Structure 1
Amino acid sequence: MTETQKKKTISMRALILMTFTTVYGFNNMPRSFYLMGYSAIPFFLVSVLLFFIPFAFMMAEYGAAFKNKSGGIYSWMEKSVNSKYAFVVTVMWYASIVILMVNLSTAIWIPLSNAVFGTDTTGTWSLFGLSSTKTLGVLASLWIATVTFISAKGIDKVKKVTSVGGVAVMALNLILIGGGLLVLIGNGGQLAQPFKALSAVVTSPHPGYQNPLSMLSFLVFTLFAFGGIEVIGGLVDKTENPEKNFPKGLLIASVIIGTGYAIGIFAVGIFTNWEAILGITGQYGEVINLGNATYLIMNNLGYQIGAAFGATESMCMNIGNWTARIVGISMVLSMAGAFFTLTFAPLKQLIAGCPKGLLPDKITELKDGMPVKAMILQGVTTIVIVLLVAFGGDVMAEFFDILVAMTNVAMTLPYMFISAAFIGFKRKEEIHKPYVVFKNKFSTIVITWVVTGLVAFANLFSIVEPAINGNVSKTLWSIAGPVFFIIIALTMYGKYEKDLSNENLIYDNK
């Protein structure tokens, strides 16, 4: 290998780092502790073994086989199954991005509030006499419109925003774990949340997660925490000595990520007593929700560091507020960067993958390298969904519960169809497969069924559980996005097939 080639390849260490930064999400640990306490840990470990590792290797095989295809998921599915399946799955995947944008555009105001005030004050915000939920909906709509306008000006504008925030978010993990250790030392090794052997990891302190069905619905949350691995699959051909380094690198990254989540969740328990801080009658019981859980818990970390070393009450509160400010600033930068990327990257992949005629010509036009008209349509659609959810209910906690449920289902459901297509991919001998992990038919079938079944059951439990417990609106909103976009995809593909048959008929008549 020449020196130039070496420079162009990715080392195993770089691959591990890229996998970690792409997949690992800081928010997942405080939120998981809020929902499940220590019992979230085994769910993450199971998800690593039964979903993350095998699915990552599937993505590696897809990525290596179609490394010269620019259409991403569409190209993978078209060659493995057929174009109709590919279009529906790709639109579902794209729909998940739109739902994620709905979530981010609303949630970004919470870290901004923490950055400015040191605590979440969004529950008291009001514009034009509107409730706080509706106010966030209006602010989110303005944010979407602004980012769409800036992004449409070209890729250089996006790069300036996305280049900041990554290091700050990585530092948050050190603050969480390092701060937890400081509290542990200051309190003489005493955990704020007692760890009572087996009962601590099989029962949740949250009243909404007391029965097996509710706990199983949490599984989709853990699968969402490992999202983004499909991006890493395209790096096989760019990895140095891929046959050896790629599977080894993914395994090491998987262990690091799974262990990191487990340690992070445990660290929250070091300084957070669930009942006293997060419970219904606890310090944050009346204001905590899935949108602000991370910031309230990190505020508590700062407070507990001060308390552990004998600081005064006012000093403890100041430390807590400044910890929340640091977290808020870091998360604002990270979420803003992610949002700018989401406004154009998925659209460009969708347009690049689909054959001419499947999408309206006006939508596929590029200006300064950007699909401007498609971005405007995307922005309008996202704003409509935001306003529908925001003006559909006035309870802040329920509002963010619905947004998180929508995002978790929408983001993980496409994985089920991508993994299900893997058997077809392996059976087609005409597809050149330069990189192979699953070498025999039996292992391919078993792994495919395990991954597909796990995602299917996780989403089923997540969708059905709220309705069984009386929250029908959460169930309906969880499936509304994917169903709506599937109907659109089938309608568009039906028109495409009709247009093709008409063209063929005209050609035959000639």
Structure 2
Amino acid sequence: MSNAEARNLRWYNIALMAFVSVWGFGNVVNNYANQGLTVVTSWILIIALYFVPYALMVGQLGSTFKDGRGGVSTWIKETMGPTLAYLAAWTYWVVHIPYLAQKPQGIMIALGWVIKGDGSFVKEFSPLVLQVICLVVFLFFLWISSKGISSLKRIGTVAGIAMFIMSLLFIVLAVSAPMMTDIKVATENMSVDTFIPDFNFAYFTTISMLVFAVGGCEKISPYVNNTKNPTREFPKGMLVLAGMVALCALLGSFAMGILFDANNIPADLKMNGQYYAFQMLGEYYGFGNFFLLLYAVANTLAQISALAFSIDAPLKVLLADADDRYVPRGLTKTNKNGTPINGYIMTAVLVSILIIVPVFGIGNMNSLFNWLLDLNSIVMPLRYLWVFLAYMALVKAIDKFGSEYKFVKNNKIGFFIGLWCFVFTAFACLMGMFPKVEAFTSEWYFQLALNVLTPFILIGLGLILPLIAKRTNGKYKEAN
């Protein structure tokens, strides 16, 4: 196949692929649960001041390093050297640990809605018992992934597309409901004040969830080299992505305001809101629990696939081209299925700790679910920091790399925008560490301690591995 034939993706393919991987119905539900209808203004601000420049920076980085296959780690390696590239790759992997710890919860909740048609299933267990079940579920799928079984991932792709379609269907059905049915809008007496946030301390503790929602478009960067005219079409795809996210965020949040009173948000909306929404729409349109069941089945399969994929793919990104200076060779040892088995053991240990330890200080399942979701919003955006570092390094050495596409022509302005996005992301992560439960209780202090320690421990482990590699890799060579 010629190079020209390989470049068959257009800007709209890039935009759609990125949208499916970045956006989900949960982004709407979780941020509405945090802010109510004031989130509409928050979406406008976060998309205009953060997501659009972020997406266009990815566009410039992707088109500049269009032959690189490692995404962010390649960008860092080219602009800042191999040591920081290793830390970027480590960050990309390790931030998935809280994500993996929550996925079994998501599977149990979705399965409960399939079985019982309501959210009572997980409430039948004590938090400790449920987390032990979640640990068993995680270890089972870790074992499945170690066997190199990919069918779950293929099923999950279909389920993920189905969930994406249903997320768009939700917007259409919910926005149309007051006109098509006899329901009343749940949030009464909407006015301009309904959409204006109070920019206080409590508000700023919720912005990490917004950053978490719009981040991740750099995952599409490995496809730059498969794009027709990547210098022009890849950045264009990123811009269209930003428009699609803005449309879904704004309409989705408004639709939530139709179904759920913004002044009286259910305490378990983050955990069960997606299911409540489809259950309500089914009742309004005379379909009973049909929409609910369809969404719950699709979500169960998608959660299972996401768990299996997120165990395997990020670890292989970290270990596939591991540098002996930074990664102990023992971690790269593979079984007959090509699975880095010691890397899987490391994953199992870290995730198991994060599943079990919190249950001793967090009293109920809803609080546990919300805390782990909030922890994801603190930890996951840490990987976005490397995107902004790479962009700042790129514009400082722009003459060396010669970017054909420039997000901003003035390099000083470009550097300032990269610095703004970096500082804002770090600020959002820092503010997200403050718990969303009653302040200064024992649970508040427990959650705060976990929120502060977890990212430092996870990132800190990445600093220890090169020391281990230095001591062991030489011995490994001698033994072989």
| TM-score of the two chains, using structure 1 as the length reference | 0.84
Query: 1:178 aligns to what?
Result: 172
Kept in 1, the 8 Å contact 2:205–2:432? The answer is yes
Q: Does 1:9 align with 2:8?
A: yes
Kept in 1, the 8 Å contact 2:160–2:299? The answer is no
User: Unpaired segments of 5 or more residues in structure 1?
Assistant: 204-209, 280-284, 307-317, 504-510
Select the residue among 425, 439, 462 that pairs with 1:469.
439
Select the residue among 236, 248, 264 that pairs with 2:236.
248
Kept in 2, the 8 Å contact 1:30–1:294? The answer is yes
Q: Does 1:134 align with 2:128?
A: yes
Q: CA deviation at 1:263?
A: 0.3
Q: Does 1:290 align with 2:270?
A: yes
Query: 1:259 aligns to what?
Result: 247
- Note the 1:11-50 alignment, pairs <5 A: 11-50=10-49
Query: 1:493 aligns to what?
Result: 466
Computing the radius of gyration from Cα coordinates, the structure with the larger value is: 1
Q: CA deviation at 1:121?
A: 1.7
Select the residue among 319, 341, 344 that pairs with 2:309.
341
CA 1:7–1:422: 2 relative to 1, 3 Å: closer
Select the residue among 167, 190, 195 that pairs with 2:161.
167
Query: 2:291 aligns to what?
Result: 323
CA 1:417–1:72: 2 relative to 1, 3 Å: closer
CA 1:138–1:468: 2 relative to 1, 3 Å: closer
Give the SS at the match of 2:158.
Answer: coil
* Alignment RMSD: 2.8
Give the SS at the match of 2:327.
Answer: coil
Query: 2:416 aligns to what?
Result: 446
Query: 2:137 aligns to what?
Result: 143
CA distance in 1, matches of 2:191, 2:217: 33
CA distance in 2, matches of 1:323, 1:485: 39
Query: 2:54 aligns to what?
Result: 55
Query: 1:207 aligns to what?
Result: none
CA distance in 1, matches of 2:432, 2:363: 23
Query: 2:353 aligns to what?
Result: 384
Query: 1:82 aligns to what?
Result: 81
Give the SS at the match of 1:164.
Answer: helix
Identity of aligned residues (%): 21
Give the SS at the match of 1:354.
Answer: coil
The alignment covers a number of residue pairs equal to 470
- Note the 1:96-495 alignment, pairs <5 A: 96-126=95-125, 131=126, 133-154=127-148, 156-186=150-180, 190-194=184-188, 196-203=190-197, 212-275=200-263, 278-279=265-266, 288-306=268-286, 319=288, 321-367=289-335, 368-428=337-397, 429-431=399-401, 433=403, 435-464=405-434, 466=436, 469-470=439-440, 471-495=444-468
Aligned AA for 1:459? C
- Over residues 127-182 of structure 1, what are the superposed CA-to-partner deviations in whole Å (9 max), with x where a residue is unaligned? xxxx1x22221121112111111111225445444333023102322431232144
Give the SS at the match of 2:433.
Answer: helix
CA 1:430–1:352: 2 relative to 1, 3 Å: farther
CA distance in 2, matches of 1:176, 1:163: 20
Q: CA deviation at 1:22?
A: 1.2
Kept in 2, the 8 Å contact 1:119–1:299? The answer is no
- Over residues 342-369 of structure 1, what are the superposed CA-to-partner deviations in whole Å (9 max), with x where a residue is unaligned? 1111011111343124222121123333
